[in-house]
Structure 1
Amino acid sequence: MAELQARWHRAMTEIPQEAWQALTGPAGLPFYSWPWLHALERSGSIVPRQGWQPCHLSLWRQDRLIAVAPLYLKGHSYGEFVFDQSFAQLAGQLGLRYYPKLVGMSPISPVQGYRFHIDPAEDGAELTALMLELIDRFCLEQQIFSCNFLYVDPLWQPWAEAAGCATWLNQQSLWSNAGFSCFEDYLAGFNANQRRNIRRERRSIAAAGLQVTPLVGAQIPAAMLQRMHHFYAQHCSRWGAWGSKYLSEEFFHVDAIELREHLVLFSAHRGDPLEPVAMSLCVRQGDALWGRYWGSDQEIENLHFEVCYYAPIEWAIAQGIRGFDPGAGGSHKRRRGFLAQPRASLHRWQDPGFDRLLRRWLPEANAQMLEEIAAENAELPFNRRELPLGAC
């Protein structure tokens, strides 16, 4: 390993795009592509003044990039959706400074799949361990309390755990396609009461004179992405100080246009789909769909469910999508067919006493989380017998 060179980067522009993309691959998650991460930085959405300092680690064999780790130095815990405020409170009680911390994730995107991107010709486990050693050294030198990898890729997780990372389980929602041929086929899995509820909610949208049209990729005019910024900003403003408005107007006006090959807009309209009264923005890659943002100009009962859940599910079935992750939070997702799923984050704390304390607590906490997930899913309004597909 002596011929390897490690470098730290304060911006995506310091790493060649082609070299980064060669490691993530054409089938990699869009949230970890060079254009996506660069767009967040260039638009002013993920920058130091917003509490996100890019601090990416790269590993080189002479002039060849062989591994990268997207990392951010953070002075707060917002935009992560793995809620470690109790850790921060505990650190304060012990007289320890919790921030800044180092975070590995795709910013403001609670999407499973974080990993070190490593050349497949290299020894992935060995380079993972080496990069974690480099991160530990960096944290000690810079007096950074911890490094935290969020929503990790289950295939990469064992390498990081073998190198000493502690695992903390949380939960998220996921809709899975069991081979449905249409939305009614999907509804057949619910009990009779919930089928009636969902049909009633969908009928109320039609009764309001609305329909929902998906706009995909190159079909999306630039003006619609700018309109999406209006909906996004308006929705965030309704929550006041808790609005979580992270993306800048520049992101929607410039960067989203370049990223739209991965985007799907669901436009709720009366007449022209390009004149929406509400819209949601989803991201698609292959047979996976992620829900991200939504907003509405009008308060219409059940419109959120239609634009953010039902219409995307109906479209996903038609497109052969296997999984739909609707985003963080919201117990209301459960009753609409999104099962609770465990999601792992990995942690390294530089204070030995704090590290020992958390590692003693985590096994019990993780067991309780799995019990909670099982209990939540047991309460879902599904039929308890196998139903044949083909209800359409």
Structure 2
Amino acid sequence: MTDILKGYEISWIDSVSRVDRDEWNGLASLIDFPFLEWDWLRLLEESGCVRLETGWLSAHMLVRHEGRLVAAVPLYVRDQSDGEFIFDRVWYEVAQKGGITYYPKVVGMSPYTPASGYRFLIAPDVNADVIVRLVCQTLDRFCTANNLGSSAFNFVDPDWTKEMEAYGYATWQHQGYVWENHDYKDFEQWMGSLNGNRRKTVRRERKSLKAEKIRVEILVGDEIPDHYFLLMYKCYVSTNDKFGVWSCKYLNEEFFEGLSKYMRKNIFFSVAFREGEEEPIAMAMFVFSGDRLWGRYWGCFEEVRFLHFELCYYAPIEWAIANDIRLYDPGMGGEHKARRGFFSSPCYSLHRFSDSSMDLTFKTYILEVNTLENGYINEMNDMMPIVKS
């Protein structure tokens, strides 16, 4: 061991349940990103959504100093890329043509969660540079010992990329969406930032739902009836089934039921009802923490035009303004998001390949890839239906 390892104990665990909840969350709570909290990660494992058979082998790294947990690194060994939402097929093909190992690989992220915020969980009173260097060195040895093709971190905290580039990781940029709260006092003031045609469209869409006698309610935390989580699962399944082979149906009923027990404080639903009816006709689920909001899942039991836009965009934006949310990430995909006030924004993943020639190839071409992606982001934002200053 080098000097940097003195005083630190490294261990690996195959489930977050093998570490004390309060110990883990003492670190995770510092970054205000609920998808790395003990309860969320344990629920993914306990429900069976994350296990060897689904392509996610938990291999979390713990760093202790004098017995105290000072760093935790959520990691998974993978023999595929499904559920990462980082579409790396092209790099797999490059490796295949060169006879280079691509799988298995080790990945740091919150499984099935394309939400930016991943980073190492580090106690504030230790030298972070020492910890990061230690973790990277340990990961190198882990990849070598287990013949892993690469280590990667997906949907990372944007502020973390430069730090990790100093340790040999290359940044890959991806297009995502975000709504930003510019201290709007209410929904109407936000509407004023849109151009005239788009304001008319939003008002027409919302008016159409009122004409259909549909009401929308926001239910937060303990306000959410327990059985709504099972209904949300049914919505999630229904929505994914519509996409056939492109479905992203990775979560099960047990996971959604567990959310009601363990993550309720960070969740709200937007729910639609027909007049006079008590059961929802559609619903969407969101996760929030601090001044950030993430759209996660949506579905309906009855198809109603414009209802998706109300539950997934307008109602949560209205809630976000009222609750001092600064950033709202609506989830991946769909250019219709841009037409409804969501700016294109870069998301990032970090990659380092074990094979030196593959690592050089990636670092050589990723600059051009990022330039093209950034150009697309700028083009999308140039077409935003906003009042031009």
TM-score tier, shorter chain, comes to: over 0.9
Residue 351 (str. 1) matches residue 355 (str. 2): yes
Shift of 1:26: 5.7
Contact 1:113 1:153 in 2 (8 A): yes
Instruction: Indicate yes or no: 2:286 matched with 1:282.
Output: yes
Aligned residue type for 2:113 = S
Match of 2:316 in 1: 312
Match of 1:193 among 188, 193, 197: 197
- Residue in 2 that maps onto 1:45: 49
Alignment partners' CA distance in 2, 1:370 and 1:62: 45
What is the aligned partner in structure 1 of residue 168 from structure 2? Answer: 164
Q: Which residue of 1 aligns with 2:122?
A: 118
- Say if 1:267 and 1:273, in contact at 8 Å, map to a contact too: no
Match of 1:259 in 2: 263
The equivalent of 2:147 in structure 1 is 143
1:20 aligns with 2:24: yes
Q: Is the 8 A contact 1:114 1:152 kept in 2?
A: yes
Which residue of the partner structure matches residue 381 of structure 1?
Answer: 385
Aligned position for 2:90: 86
Aligned to 1:152: 156
Q: Distance in 2 between matches of 1:274 and 1:218?
A: 18
Cα distance, 1:2 vs. partner? Answer: 1.5
Query: Which residue is equivalent to 1:332?
Result: 336
Aligned partners of 2:43, 2:276: CA distance in 1, in Å? 30
- For the structure 1 residues 94 and 273, does the alpha-carbon distance in structure 2 shift closer, same or farther, using more than 3 Å as the test? farther
Write the deviation string for residues 359-389 of structure 1: whole angstroms up to 9, x where unpaired: 111222222222221121011111112xxxx
Contact 1:43 1:255 in 2 (8 A): no
1:301-344 Cα shifts (integer Å, max 9, x gaps) = 11111111111111111112111100111111001010011122
In 1: Cα distance, 2:379 partner to 2:306 partner: 26
Paired AA for residue 126 in structure 1? V
What 5-or-longer segments of structure 1 have no aligned partner? 386-392
**Counterpart in the other structure of 1:389:** none
- 2:141 counterpart SS class: helix
Of 197, 218, 221, 1:214 maps to 218
Q: What 5-or-longer segments of structure 2 have no aligned partner?
A: none
Distance in 1 (alpha carbons) for counterparts of 2:278 and 2:48:
27
How many residues align? The count is 385
Corresponding position of 2:39: 35
8 Å contact from structure 2 (residues 16, 42) kept in 1: yes
Partner of 2:70: 66
Distance in 2 between residues matched to 1:374 and 1:239, nearest whole Å? 29
Give, in whole Å, the separation in 2 of the partners of 1:246 and 1:272: 35
Aligned residue identity for 1:311:
A
Q: Is the 8 A contact 2:343 2:381 kept in 1?
A: yes
Once the two structures are superposed, residues 41-80 of structure 1 have per-residue CA deviations (whole angstroms, 9 ceiling, x without a partner) of: 1111111111111111111113111111101111221211
How many angstroms apart in 1 are the aligned matches of 2:304 and 2:78?
38
CA RMSD for the aligned pairs?
Answer: 1.4
> TM-score scaled by structure 1?
0.95
Going from structure 1 to structure 2, the CA distance change for 1:91 and 1:25 (only over 3 Å counts) comes to same
Query: Which residue is equivalent to 2:234?
Result: 230
Q: 2:110 aligns with which of 106, 110, 118?
A: 106
